[in-house]
A and B are shown apart, each in its own frame.
Chain A
Amino acid sequence: MAVVNGIVLVLAVYCSVTLACASLHPLSEAEKVAAKQLFISRDDGSFGSLEETYQAVKSLKLLKSDEVDAVKICNFVARSVNSTCGTKDTFYGIRTAELLHCQDAAKVAESVVPTLIDGLKHAKSLVDLYYTVDALSTIKKHHWSLASHSFAHAVEGVLGRVKALAGSHGTWRFAEDETDSSAKAAGFAFEITAAVIDICGYDSHESEVKFLKAAAQKLIEKSERDEDGAHYFDEFKDDKFSGNGGALIVSATVLRGITALAGVLPDGIKVREEKMFGFARFFLSIGTLDSATEAYYQLEALSALENNRILIPLAVSFTSSVLSLSSHDKLEVIVSTVLGSPFPHALLTIISAHKVGEETAPVLTDQELQSVEGDHKYIFDLVSDFEVGKYDLKIEVKPATAELSYKYSAGDLTSARITVTGKVSVSSIQIAVLDSDTGSPEFTTSLDFSKKEKATLSANHLQKLRVTFDLTSPSGGAYTPQQVFFKLQHESGVEQLFVVTSSGKNFELSLDFLGLVEKFYYLSGAYALELIVGDVTMENSFLWALGSLDLDLPEAPEGATNPPAVRLDATKRFGPKEEIAHVFRQPERRPPAQLSNSFFVLTLLPLVGLLVGLSSVGANLKYLPTSGLPLLSALGFHGGIAAILILYSLFWLKLNLFTTLNILGFLGMFTCVTGYLALSHLAEQSSKVKTA
């Protein structure tokens, strides 16, 4: 069963992959969580510099996270933005204050307006212009400054300067002294244009705006396309004006510029549907992001895609690609924007549903899905039309009204492969042992599947074994699973596997043992019987132990092949070994301390006895020499013996054998010499006594 489950899982994964290729898939929850983790706030509530803070606040807002401490960040902005900080910091500070609706935004804005207007004249590059003009446009939009009526005058001539930097194919130069033009700079140029139009209206700059619109359309056509249909701008070089390059940041900047420009032009900008979907595909398939900046640009681009006046691409996703008939699952489709906000005004139609692998007429055509209010899902009940199996669906997704169709699009037909699963019923299982010649049954038994009954059979090589059973699909039709096997396993482990073939509902396997003796290696004895039926679409795939067969085969002739060595079970060979339980030796029972101590005293008693005995037999130190070398040597001899005994006790208590032997060598020599002197002196004395 585990194997069957595994196959289902692999197939489900495969299906989800094919779904992602077929249509847009919104940014998943896992990707959102991963992106959120890239933004780490500091103690003062900020995320580093003003730029990093703005990027984090914007991204977290798009991710609908409430981890932003607005009060702290507003304080941070008020502290950091003043007339002396650069245009870049001013721009990001004003933008952050706008996002968080900071209370003292107007005060901060008022303090930087003179610097900004002054900075317009000195701005050398497109990036500087962008920061200044965009900041002014934001201030004007929210009426944060009393001087906002003078902005229109201040930005006069800006578009002329922008136009002067235009390259030939819709690209732009960052500054006058630059020779290379890039798509990224063009993105900034479009945004400046949008901001200028915001400040002083469309009419006063008609000719420049027309030029820029044409350039934007030219640039869009220049985007590159990869084999998955993703569109992007491929520039990998960094520049000194705006920092990082790379396809993600460049494409995001261009898309942001074009959508901003389209937003302020009365007739918008026409971009082909394929392009918009291409961009969406590119930003949704970025994969793992390395930095907070990359996450910001991805989210910023996706937000531009779901909030623009050109065309908003819709993503279509399925809650599950595996539907169970037995639990009455319904096909559930979710239509959303690329960032995952639900789109409730769609009309979904199943154009066709084909069973995979069958060249027959579609199972159904032109069926509308029902919209579920509040749940933002579109559902379709499969039960009536679908048999178990795999189906290719083609679904058309359209905005509900013609008006919405101008704004939204879900692209071409959405195709998806779904797997419909159900419980297959097993009936009329019969195992029979037949006579090989006449074909008449000698033994027949019927088994009940629901009880998983077992049978005990016996046969010899002159007989046949026949196994029959029926498989019926949930709707009562014939059902052929991918795997139907009958397995015989000899007690020695040798396996024989047979494929069971079917005609309609009826499955039959007939084994003529006479023709199979060689295949069975002439192995007589008990065989375990197993029936294996499995399929991805079958919810009750099973391995059924049918019982045992006692087979009597003739003796193997000379030269017959030996049965193959039975392969060891891999889990037994490489699996975990049995756990070793450590058994520690029980400590020996020790006698009570008092008893031991009293016996210690008892062992000392004989020593007292020795001393008493010695005095009673009249032992004395008469022969101890009285002076000179003999006295010294006698004392040395006895001292040496005492030292050796002390050394022995030290050996017992702490020294090792080598140290002991080392010291013993010296002590032994000493004792030897002194002993020789002392004893020879004694011998001399006694010989003197004898001769006297």
Chain B
Amino acid sequence: MAGGGTTSDVRSLVSSLRSAYAATPVKLKIIDVYVLYALTTALVQVVYMGFVGSFPFNAFLSGVLSCVGTAVLAVCLRMQVNKENKEFRDIAPERAFADFVLCNVVLHLVIMNFLG
């Protein structure tokens, strides 16, 4: 590939990615937005830690782990809800959502306990 074509290549790649993503079901998009939200919040806290130090460390850990944990759970939910994913075909999306809610309840009970 020639050097002059790089920008247009990138552009075509992005547009093809966007069109491909547009076909994704709304449910999965919602989950993606949620994951993005959780990770951004975690990032803000990490940046704050970079500024002022990690004291109190338990509060920092709970904050970040709350975000990361819920993001991981959301990713799992996405895997189970995705119809393309043959592996989880037997699991109904409603059942997956109930699992997601239950896991979050347990995760946050622990987070709150650790928050101090």
Residues of A within 8 A of B (CB): 588-591, 595-596, 599, 602-603, 605-607, 609-610, 613-614, 617-619, 641, 644-645, 648-649, 651-652, 657, 660, 664, 668, 671, 675-676, 679-680, 682-683, 686
Contacts and interface: CB of A to CB of B under 8 A. Distances in A.
Contacts of B93: 686
B17 interface: no
A602 B33 contact: no
A651 B105 contact: no
Contacts of A591: 51-53
Nearest to A676: B98
B37 A652 contact: no
B92 interface: yes
Contacts of A613: 33, 36-37
Nearest to A591: B52
22 contacts: A588-B56, A591-B51, A596-B48, A599-B44, A599-B47, A599-B51, A602-B44, A603-B41, A605-B40, A606-B41, A609-B40, A613-B36, A614-B30, A619-B30, A644-B105, A649-B112, A664-B109, A668-B105, A679-B95, A679-B97, A680-B94, A683-B94
B18 interface: no
B37 A610 contact: yes
Nearest to A610: B37
A602 B40 CA distance: 10
Interface in B26-47: 26, 29-30, 32-34, 36-37, 40-41, 44-45, 47
Nearest to B97: A679
Return the 3 tightest CB-CB contacts between A and B, nearest first.
Answer: A591-B52, A613-B33, A617-B29
B101 interface: yes
Given A595-B51, A610-B33, A619-B30, A648 B108 contact: yes
Given A606-B40, A610-B33, A652-B115, A682 B105 contact: no
- SS of B interface (majority): helix
A671 B92 CA distance: 19
B26 A619 contact: yes
Contacts of B52: 591, 595-596
Interface string B1-39: 000000000000000000000000010011011101100
Nearest to A620: B26
B113 A657 contact: yes
A527 to B, nearest CB: 59
B102 to A, nearest CB: 9
A648 B109 contact: yes
A252 B105 CA distance: 96
Interface string B72-116: 000000000000000000001111011001000100110011010
A653 to B, nearest CB: 10
Interface residues of B, number: 32
A606 B44 contact: yes
A609 B40 CA distance: 9
Given A649-B112, A679-B97, A683-B95, 8 more contacts: A589-B55, A595-B51, A602-B44, A605-B44, A610-B33, A641-B101, A671-B101, A680-B94
Nearest to A617: B29
Contacts of B29: 617-619
Contacts of B113: 651, 657
B97 A617 contact: no
B92 A609 contact: no
A676 B95 CA distance: 9
Contacts of A609: 36-37, 40
B55 A588 contact: yes
A662 to B, nearest CB: 13
Nearest to A682: B94
Contacts of A596: 48, 52
A588 B44 CA distance: 22
A682 B105 CA distance: 21
B44 A610 contact: no
Given A602-B44, A606-B40, A652 B94 contact: no
Nearest to B104: A641
B100 to A, nearest CB: 11
A603 B44 contact: yes
B33 A614 contact: yes
Nearest to B36: A613
A621 to B, nearest CB: 12
Given A595-B51, A679-B94, A683-B94, A617 B33 contact: yes
| Residue from A590, A595, A648, A680 having most chain B Cβ neighbours under 10 A | A648
A610 B34 contact: yes
A605 B97 CA distance: 26
A131 B95 CA distance: 115
A588 B105 CA distance: 32
A617 B105 contact: no
Residue from A596, A602, A617, A668 with most neighbouring chain B CB atoms (10 Å): A617
A599 B52 CA distance: 11
Contacts of B56: 588
A651 B112 contact: yes
Given A609-B40, A614-B30, A603 B45 contact: yes
Contacts of B45: 599, 603
Nearest to A603: B44
B11 to A, nearest CB: 22
B33 A607 contact: no
A283 B92 CA distance: 112
Contacts of A680: 94
